[in-house]
A and B are shown apart, each in its own frame.
Chain A
Amino acid sequence: MSRAALLVLADGRFPAGGHAHSGGAEAAVKAGRITGAASLEEFCRGRLHTSGLVSASLAAAAALGLDPVELDEAADARTPSAALRTAARRLGRQMMRAARATWPHPELDAVARLFPKGAHQPVVLGVAARAAGLGADDAAYCSLYESVSGAATATVRLLSLDPFDATGVLARLAPAMDLVARDAVDAARRAVEDGVDALPAGSAPLLEISAEAHAAWAVRLFAS
C-alpha cells in the first residue's frame, strides 16, 4: 500500500462532490441542535457511531472485495430515508468518476457499468481504495473521516464558526474514530465469512427524518 495514495483519497479537495453536502449539519443548525463547537462535536460523535460506522464497514467490505451489488443492497436496507439514499448514490456516482480518472481499474469500470446512476458512496469508496492499492482500514478511515469532516466544514459556512474550533472538534474525535474504524473493519472481515448481514446496521433516526425535511426546503445552501 502507498501511504501517499491514502492522503490523495482522504483529501477534502478530492473532486468527488462532497463540498455540496453537509452530512445533516444544515438541518441540525436550523433546528438549533448545532449552535457552536460543543454541539457540533456531539453531533459528529453521533454520526460516527451510527451512519459513520455503517458507511465505514461498507467501505471496508468493498475494499476487501465483497460483491458491490450485495453491498449496495445492504446500504439501501440500512438507509431508511429516500433522500439520503438519493444523496448517497449521487455522491457514489461522483466518487466513481473521480476514482476512475485517478486510479483506472477494471473493477471500477465494472461497478460503473452496473450502476450508471451511482452505487452508494461508501461502496464506491471501498472499490476506489482497492484500485488505489489501499486496504480495508484505509477505506474505513476515509469514510469515517468524511462522515464528520463534511459536517464540520459545512458548519463553518453555516454558522460562521471559527474554523480553528471546527478543526479542534475533528482532532478531539480522533480517538473515537480509531475505535469505530476498528469495529468497522472487524465487521467487514466477519462479512467475508458470514455475508453482508454481519455488517452493522446502526441508525440515527433524527438524521434520517431531518434529511427528508431538508430535501423539501425551497432555500438551502447544501444538497443534503
Chain B
Amino acid sequence: MHLDHSPSHSHSHDGPSALSADAHRPDGSRRAIRIGLGGPVGSGKTATVAALCHALRDELSLAVVTNDIYTREDAEFLLREAVLPPERITAVETGACPHTAIRDDISANLEAVEDLEDEVGPLDLILVESGGDNLTATFSKGLVDAQIFVIDVAGGDDIPRKGGPGVTTADLLVVNKTDLAPYVGSDLARMAADAKAQRAELPVVFQSLRDDKGVAAVADWVRGQLAAWTAA
C-alpha cells in the first residue's frame, strides 16, 4: 500500500488523489460520511433522498450522487424539487447496470463523491443513490460507509421473507409507503417479523413519507451514523 493513501500517515497537499474508501482526503482532513441508498425500482429511493435533504440541509453540509439507468431523471427530480442547489447534485451514468457502478466498478462514483467534496465542500454527508435494481444489489464498502435498502409494501409483503443481500445485510432496511398497506393487502406485522428473522439486530424502519413523521426516523438514523463517523 502507498504511504499517501494510508490514514495513519501524514498527507501532503500535492499528493495524488485518494484511491478508495480512505477516511481522509489528500489534504489530511477527514472526508464526509458516504451513505448509499439502494432498492428495487419504484420503492421510493429518490423520494427518501429528497425528504432527507429537506430534513438535514439546515444542520449539515450535504450533497447527492445519483446513479440513473438511462437518463438523468432522478437528478432532475431532485433539482426540480429544489432540495439542494444544483452544484450539490451529480448524476453518474451507469451503462445500463447500476449494480456494476455501485459495487463491481465504483470508479465513476468515487470520482463523483471526491469532486463534490473538492468543489462544494467541506461536506458532512454524501448520499449515493443507486438506480432501481434487484434484491442482490448492494454497495461496495469501497464506496460507502453505510447503506440503506429501501423496499415498499406495494412491491409484495413477501420481500423481507425472500431476503437477499440488500434485505439481509443493509445497515438500515426501510419499508416505505406503509400508507398503502391496506389497499394492496400487505401485512405489516408479517413484514416486520420476517425482517427481524432475516436481520436479527439490524434496524428496520417502517415509513410513509405522506404522514406527519415522514422521513424523521431515517434522518435520526443518519444523524447517528454521522455522529459515530465523526467520533471514530
Q: Which residues of A contact B (CB under 8 A)?
A: 13, 15-22, 90, 93-94, 97-98, 100-101, 104, 109, 112-113, 116, 154, 157, 218-223
* CB-CB under 8 A for A19 and B19, given A13-B104, A94-B111, A97-B107: no
25 A-B pairs with C-beta separation under 8 A: A13-B104, A15-B106, A17-B107, A19-B95, A20-B94, A21-B95, A22-B95, A90-B108, A93-B107, A93-B111, A94-B108, A97-B19, A97-B20, A97-B110, A100-B2, A100-B19, A104-B2, A113-B15, A116-B16, A218-B72, A219-B71, A221-B69, A221-B70, A221-B95, A222-B93
Q: How far is B3's CA from A109's CA once the two chains are assembled, in angstroms?
A: 12
Contact, CB under 8 Å: A219 / B70: yes
Number of A-B contacts (CB under 8 A): 75
From residue B26, how far is it (CB to closest CB) to chain A in Å?
10
Pair B2/A109 contact, Cβ less than 8 Å: yes
Q: How far is the CB of A69 from chain B (nearest CB, A)?
A: 16
Q: A16-B107, A109-B2 are in contact. Are A221 and B96 (CB under 8 A)?
A: yes
Complexed CA–CA distance, A220 and B1 (Å): 38
A222 to B106, CA, bound (A): 16
Q: A15-B104, A19-B105, A109-B4 are in contact. Are A116 and B17 (CB under 8 A)?
A: yes
**Alpha-carbon distance A116/B17, docked complex (angstroms):** 7
> Per DSSP, are chain B's interface residues mostly helix, strand or loop, or mixed?
loop
A90 to B92, CA, bound (A): 12
Interface flags for B1-22 (1: CB within 8 Å of A; 0: not) read 1101000000000111101100
Residues 1 to 55 of chain B near chain A (Cβ within 8 Å): 1-2, 4, 14-17, 19-20
Taking A94-B107, A112-B17 as contacts, is the C-beta distance between A19 and B71 under 8 angstroms? no
User: From residue A125, how far is it (CB to closest CB) to chain B in Å?
Assistant: 14
Closest to B20 in A: A101
Total interface residues on B, CB under 8 Å, equals: 27
Give bound CA distance, A163 to B72, whole Å. 28
Whole-angstrom distance between the Cβ of B122 and the nearest chain A Cβ: 18
The distance in angstroms between the C-alpha atoms of A223 and B100, with both chains bound, is: 14
Determine how close the nearest CB of chain B comes to the CB of A135; give it in whole angstroms.
24
**Max count, chain A CB within 10 A of own CB: residue among B71, B72, B107, B108:** B107
When distances are taken between beta carbons in the complex, the residues of chain A under 8 Å from B108 are 17, 20, 90, 94
On chain A, the residues within 8 Å of B195 by CB distance are none
Distance, CA A223 to CA B96, complexed state (A): 10
By a CB distance below 8 angstroms, the chain A residues around B16 are 100, 109, 112-113, 116
Query: CA of A98 to CA of B110 in the docked complex: distance in angstroms?
Result: 11
Question: What residue in chain B is nearest A94 (Cβ atoms)?
Answer: B107
Which residues on A sit within 8 Å (CB–CB) of B19?
97, 100-101
Give bound CA distance, A222 to B97, whole Å. 10
**Residue of A with least CB distance to B106:** A15
Q: Closest 9 CB pairs between A and B?
A: A20-B95, A112-B16, A94-B107, A15-B105, A223-B93, A221-B96, A19-B95, A221-B70, A17-B107
A101 to B18 Cα, complex, angstroms? 10
CA distance A96 to B19 in the complex (A): 9
Write the nearest CB–CB distance from A118 to chain B, whole angstroms.
Answer: 9
B2–A223 CB distance below 8 A: no
Which chain A positions have C-beta within 8 A of B14? 113
Q: Please report the C-alpha to C-alpha distance between residue A100 and residue B19 in the assembled complex, in whole angstroms.
A: 8
